[in-house]
């Protein structure tokens, strides 16, 4: 696949209380965001394991992001802070093996921020389009 | 009752003339004309601004929007619920509304609360963490990681998580270095299966 019509595959791990609710709100607000983003619901971003992020990259995701509650407002107190640490760890790991760390990101938003959810999806899709297909992905095969 | 729209850049103009009384001029964008009328009385709709309740809202972990009004779990499917179970809302804290609407919403909130109060016992969700005792190394990671202090290690010789106390966030499951803890319904296998399914050739073929 050439980069001209490159449509990235992005996995978004969203917490049930904020990011997933914001995605729901974005839908009821009739906001449009790129279909490249595939949402996986988690009870809390604290449930995100380094393994899940790496596995998504290994499976061929061009971008992966974790979206949780605003810092200090996590429904489960500190899950989002733990998730941020793990995202940072994965970024470092990817850099070491020669994959752009920007492919993995952590975002924070509240359940009332439907438009922010769409904005993040746009932002991430644009970022990955600029980076091009993941070297791990099936696009290059 | 006649409603007249106006453009925000061209607000209605009200002039008080001692001889003729009130004179209201407004540009109607639909008619494309300027209307003039002599009303007997002009009543302004005053702004409704939410109270500074952030400390209280933080305590209950209920979300507010950019204006400071409460946000329901779902505007259509769960209009008086919060995403946190067992907390309901009604009235102006939600958004500016008439008294009728506040009362209807209060009745809705009461009936939602009654669905819980009318029961002798309630079933709670199965999203709780369980410990595989044979894998537990008694490292205390879960004890430290749990935001609610639920896991404990006593004479059993391994971590114990009481299902009725577990809030189901899954922090312990992802922190456990020995992978001894599983969060029901959000197991590693289930989460990985979801990403696998997204990229599986057979799914797109």
d(CA A18, CA B154): 35
pLDDT > 90 in chain A, percent: 80
Q: What is the pLDDT of residue B200?
A: 74
Identify all chain B residues contacting A38, using CB atoms and an 8 Å cutoff. Answer: 198
Fold observed for domain A10-131: Rossmann fold (3.40.50)
Q: Do residues A110 and B63 lie in contact, with contact meaning Cβ atoms separated by under 8 Å?
A: yes
Q: What is the pLDDT of residue B203?
A: 47
DSSP 8-state assignment for residue B121: S
Q: What is the pLDDT of residue B123?
A: 82
Q: Do residues B72 and B105 lie in contact, with contact meaning Cβ atoms separated by under 8 Å?
A: no
pLDDT tens digits, one per residue of A8-18 = 999 999 999 99
Q: Do residues A139 and A129 lie in contact, with contact meaning Cβ atoms separated by under 8 Å?
A: no
Indicate the range of A40-54, A100-114, B121-135, B173-187 predicted with least confidence.
B121-135
Say what the ipTM of the complex is.
Answer: 0.89
Chain B interface includes A85 (CB < 8 A): no
CA dihedral defined by A109, A111, A115, A116, rounded to 10 degrees? 0
pLDDT tens digits, one per residue of B84-95 = 888 999 999 999
Q: What is the pLDDT of residue B131?
A: 95
DSSP 8-state assignment for residue B76: T
DSSP 8-state assignment for residue A40: E
Chain B interface includes A100 (CB < 8 A): no
**Residue A4 pLDDT grade (very low, low, confident, very high; cuts 50, 70, 90):** low
What is the number of other CB atoms lying within 10 angstroms of the CB of residue B104?
Answer: 14
Identify all chain B residues contacting A16, using CB atoms and an 8 Å cutoff. Answer: 83
Query: What is the mean predicted confidence (pLDDT) over A74-98?
Result: 94
Query: Residue A138 pLDDT more than 70?
Result: no
Q: What is the pLDDT of residue A34?
A: 95
d(CA B57, CA B34): 46
d(CA B109, CA B105): 6
Which residues of chain B register pLDDT less than 50? Answer: 203-205
Helix (H) / strand (E) containing A96:
helix A79-96
Phi, psi angle pair for A21, to nearest 5°: -65, -35
Buried b (16+ CB within 10 A) or exposed e, B26-62: bbeeeeeeeeeeeeeeeeeeeeeebeeeeeebeeebb
CB pairs under 8 A between A and B: 104
Query: What is the mean predicted confidence (pLDDT) over A49-70?
Result: 94
Distance from CA of B147 to the nearest CA of A (A): 6
∠ Cα A116 A83 A118 (to 5°): 15
Identify all chain B residues contacting A47, using CB atoms and an 8 Å cutoff. Answer: 169-171, 173-174, 183, 186, 191
């Amino acid at each position: 696949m050439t980069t001209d019509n490159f449509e990235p595959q992005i996995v978004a791990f969203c917490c049930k209380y904020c990011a997933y609710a914001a995605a729901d709100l974005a839908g009821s607000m009739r906001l449009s965001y790129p279909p490249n983003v595939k949402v996986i619901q988690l009870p809390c971003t604290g449930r995100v394991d380094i393994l899940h992020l790496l596995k998504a990259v290994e499976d061929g995701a061009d971008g992966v992001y974790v979206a949780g509650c605003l810092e200090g407002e996590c429904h489960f107190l500190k899950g989002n802070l733990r998730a941020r640490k793990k995202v940072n760890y994965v970024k470092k790991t990817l850099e070491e093996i020669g994959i752009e760390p920007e492919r993995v990101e952590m975002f924070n938003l509240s359940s009332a921020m439907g438009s922010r959810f769409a904005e993040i999806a746009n932002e991430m899709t644009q970022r990955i389009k600029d980076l091009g297909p993941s070297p791990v992905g099936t696009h290059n095969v | 009752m006649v409603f007249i729209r106006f453009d925000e850049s061209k607000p209605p103009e009200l002039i008080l003339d001692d001889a003729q009384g009130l004179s209201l001029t407004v540009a109607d964008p639909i008619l494309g004309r300027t209307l003039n009328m002599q009303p007997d009385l002009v009543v302004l709709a005053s702004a409704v601004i939410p109270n500074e309740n952030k400390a209280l809202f933080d305590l209950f972990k209920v979300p507010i929007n950019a204006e400071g009004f409460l946000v329901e779990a779902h505007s259509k499917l769960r209009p008086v619920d919060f995403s946190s179970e067992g907390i309901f809302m009604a009235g102006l804290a939600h958004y500016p509304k008439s008294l009728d609407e506040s009362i209807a919403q209060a009745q809705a909130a009461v009936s939602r609360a009654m669905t819980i109060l009318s029961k002798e016992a309630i079933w709670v969700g199965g999203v709780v963490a369980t410990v595989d005792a044979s894998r537990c190394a008694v490292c205390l990671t879960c004890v430290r990681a749990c935001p609610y202090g639920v896991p404990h290690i006593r004479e059993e010789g391994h971590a114990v998580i009481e299902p009725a106390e577990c809030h189901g966030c899954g922090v312990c499951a992802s922190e456990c270095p020995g992978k001894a803890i599983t969060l029901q319904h959000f197991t590693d296998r289930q989460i990985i299966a979801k990403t696998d399914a997204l990229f599986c050739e057979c799914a797109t073929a």
